[in-house]
């Protein structure tokens, strides 16, 4: 038995001549495609990502315990990484995305840094903390969707009096796929408040743009999409109809300057499921991370059923048929790598999915 070839594919049942050829190929860092073709180019997605739910009530005490064991400064970011059970040890929630729950306690700061990886924050609990992006602070409220675009300096701080917890979503696995990661610390713990709070909202979030504005980066010029407004949007659309048979009332967050996704690699969505909603199955190639905001329900994902309530987080693998049901009127936030797949011409969806 040749141990060097045995590790890349099964060598049992091979003729001695083939096995001998493979061994000599192996010594030249070459390998026979015909032994692996079906695996590397499957006829449809074969994700290692599995469907899974994290119960907020189970994670919250563990995150607060971490808050007693180390400071945000010490940790740089005090985060529980949500590792998909099919991808343990890889710091990923899906094949292409990272997610974690971050805690900042009253009086703490998480020091300023920047990295090539882009981040989103979806605020889960607490008020009174801010995040600052390129010198502009924004206060965080539950349900706010906040961006930290690639290579922008950001720090977080909590001058308030309650713990603040949010879901982080980063494109770290995509950046690392391309071996394009850079990171550096800001000279100083926090950035100076160079821009008045609310400036980007006034400038870019009123269906107008400064007349001489040209984009500075590939991401949206607004970086806080407050829940008060997005919640009102899905409720108004529900009141006015129609309700989609798969999605309920679903909207996507946009870059208001061009209508595209908020960031080039990550798309985000908000959907309202009416009370008693029973959605029909749908699937798409973007594995999706869901955070339940309001209400209760369940999602059938392939052969598994995941129940969810407020603040629970669950994952839908690529191409798994999903149908949502809501016992109460519910609001779900979600994000995925859809914009990256779309720009590469890879994204597919299918509805209805025959069961
Ligand atoms: O807040 O900058 O969950 O740099 C992982 C890496 C959060 C952040 C994470 C990070 C951050």
| Residue pLDDT, tens place only, 50-77 | 999 999 999 999 999 999 999 998 999 9
DSSP string, 213-257: ---SSSS-S--EE-HHHHHHHHHHHHHH---BTTTBEEEE---TT
Nearest to 147 by CA among 104, 204, 96, 93: 204
State whether the beta carbon of 79 lies less than 6 angstroms from ligand 1: yes
Among protein residues, the one with the nearest Cα to ligand 1's atom 11 is 77
Q: Label residue 318 exposed, middle or buried (CB < 10 Å: 0-12, 13-18, 19+).
A: buried
Residue 126's CB: how many other CB atoms inside 10 A?
A: 21
pLDDT digits (tens, 9 = 90+) for 185-239: 999 889 999 999 999 999 999 999 999 999 999 999 999 999 999 999 999 999 9
Asked if pLDDT for residue 126 goes beyond 70, the answer is: yes
DSSP H/E element including 75: helix 72-75
Atom of ligand 1 nearest to the CA of 79: 3
Asked if pLDDT for residue 355 goes beyond 60, the answer is: no
Asked if pLDDT for residue 353 goes beyond 90, the answer is: no
Cα(72)–Cα(190) distance, integer angstroms: 13
CA dihedral 280, 284, 290, 293 (to 10 degrees): -50
Pocket test for ligand 1, best of 77, 101, 157, 335 (most atoms within 8 A of CB): 77
CA–centroid distance, residue 150 to ligand 1 (Å): 12
Nearest to 255 by CA among 289, 222, 301, 281: 222
Which token pair is 180? 């394009």
Which domains does the chain carry?
52-204 (2.60.120.10), 224-350 (2.60.120.10)
State whether the beta carbon of 168 lies less than 6 angstroms from ligand 1: yes
Mapped onto helix, strand or coil, the DSSP state of residue 316 is strand
Strands across the sheet containing 130-133: 136-139, 130-133, 154-157, 109-115, 183-185
State whether the beta carbon of 100 lies less than 6 angstroms from ligand 1: yes
State whether the beta carbon of 322 lies less than 6 angstroms from ligand 1: no
pLDDT of amino acid 6: 46
Nearest to 305 by CA among 85, 52, 98, 135: 52
State whether the beta carbon of 77 lies less than 6 angstroms from ligand 1: yes
Cα(340)–Cα(266) distance, integer angstroms: 7
pLDDT of amino acid 7: 53
> What percent of the chain is predicted at pLDDT more than 70?
97
Residues 6+ apart with CB under 8 A from 331: 231, 234, 270, 271, 272, 273, 292, 293, 294, 295
Q: Cα–Cα distances in Å, from 279 out to 53, 121, 289, 332? A: 19, 27, 18, 14
pLDDT of amino acid 2: 46
- Per the CB < 8 A criterion, the answer to whether 188 and 112 are in contact is yes
This prediction's pTM? 0.96
pLDDT digits (tens, 9 = 90+) for 21-59: 999 999 999 999 999 999 999 999 999 999 999 999 999
**Averaged pLDDT, 137-142:** 98
DSSP string, 26-56: HHTT---GGGTHHHHS-SS---S---EEE-H
pLDDT of amino acid 73: 87
Among protein residues, the one with the nearest Cα to ligand 1's atom 1 is 77
Asked if pLDDT for residue 1 goes beyond 70, the answer is: no
pLDDT of amino acid 228: 98
- Beta pairing partners, 322: 282, 301
**Averaged pLDDT, 241-249:** 98
Residue 101's CB: how many other CB atoms inside 10 A?
A: 24
- Per the CB < 8 A criterion, the answer to whether 257 and 204 are in contact is yes
pLDDT of amino acid 11: 74
Among protein residues, the one with the nearest Cα to ligand 1's atom 4 is 77
Nearest to 85 by CA among 342, 306, 335: 306
Among protein residues, the one with the nearest Cα to ligand 1's atom 10 is 77
Which token pair is 38? 């079906």
Cα(40)–Cα(18) distance, integer angstroms: 21
Q: Which of 3-7, 81-85, 117-121, 152-156 is the least confident region? A: 3-7
Mapped onto helix, strand or coil, the DSSP state of residue 73 is helix
Cα(3)–Cα(133) distance, integer angstroms: 52
**Averaged pLDDT, 119-134:** 98
Backbone phi and psi for residue 236, each to the nearest 5 degrees, phi listed first: -65, -45
CA–centroid distance, residue 309 to ligand 1 (Å): 25
Q: Is the peptide bond before 352 cis (omega within 30 degrees of 0)?
A: yes
Atom of ligand 1 nearest to the CA of 117: 4
Asked if pLDDT for residue 313 goes beyond 50, the answer is: yes
Query: pLDDT tier at 3 (50, 70, 90 boundaries)?
Result: very low
């Amino acid at each position: 038995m040749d141990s060097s070839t045995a590790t890349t594919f099964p060598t049992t049942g091979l003729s001695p001549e083939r096995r001998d050829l493979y061994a000599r190929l192996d010594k030249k860092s070459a390998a026979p495609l015909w032994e692996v073709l079906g695996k590397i180019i499957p006829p449809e997605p074969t994700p290692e990502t599995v469907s899974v739910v994290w119960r907020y009530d189970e994670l919250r005490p563990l995150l607060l315990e971490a808050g007693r064991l180390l400071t945000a400064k010490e940790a740089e970011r005090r985060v529980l990484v949500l590792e998909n059970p099919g991808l343990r040890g890889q710091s990923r929630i899906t094949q292409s995305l990272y997610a974690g729950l971050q805690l900042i306690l009253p009086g703490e700061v998480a020091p300023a840094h920047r990295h090539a990886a882009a981040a989103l924050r979806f605020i889960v609990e607490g008020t009174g903390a801010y995040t600052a992006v390129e010198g502009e602070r924004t206060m965080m409220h539950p349900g706010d969707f906040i961006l930290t675009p690639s290579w922008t300096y950001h720090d977080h701080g909590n001058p308030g009096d309650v713990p603040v917890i949010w879901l982080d979503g980063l494109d770290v696995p995509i950046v690392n796929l391309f071996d394009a990661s850079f990171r550096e610390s800001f000279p100083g713990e926090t950035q100076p408040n160079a821009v008045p709070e609310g400036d980007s909202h006034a400038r870019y979030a009123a269906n107008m743009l400064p007349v001489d504005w040209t984009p500075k980066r590939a991401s949206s010029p607004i970086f806080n999409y407050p829940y008060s407004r997005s919640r009102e949007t899905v409720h108004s659309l529900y009141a006015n109809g129609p309700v989609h048979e798969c999605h309920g009332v679903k909207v996507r967050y946009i870059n208001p300057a061009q209508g595209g996704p908020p960031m080039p690699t990550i798309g985000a969505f908000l959907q309202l499921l009416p009370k008693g909603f029973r959605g029909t199955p749908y699937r798409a190639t973007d594995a999706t991370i869901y955070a339940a905001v309001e209400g209760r329900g369940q999602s059938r994902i392939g052969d598994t059923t995941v129940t969810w309530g407020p603040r629970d987080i669950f994952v839908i693998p690529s191409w798994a048929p999903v149908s949502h049901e809501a016992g109460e009127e519910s609001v779900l936030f979600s994000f995925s790598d859809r914009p990256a797949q779309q720009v590469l011409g890879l994204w597919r969806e299918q509805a209805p999915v025959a069961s």
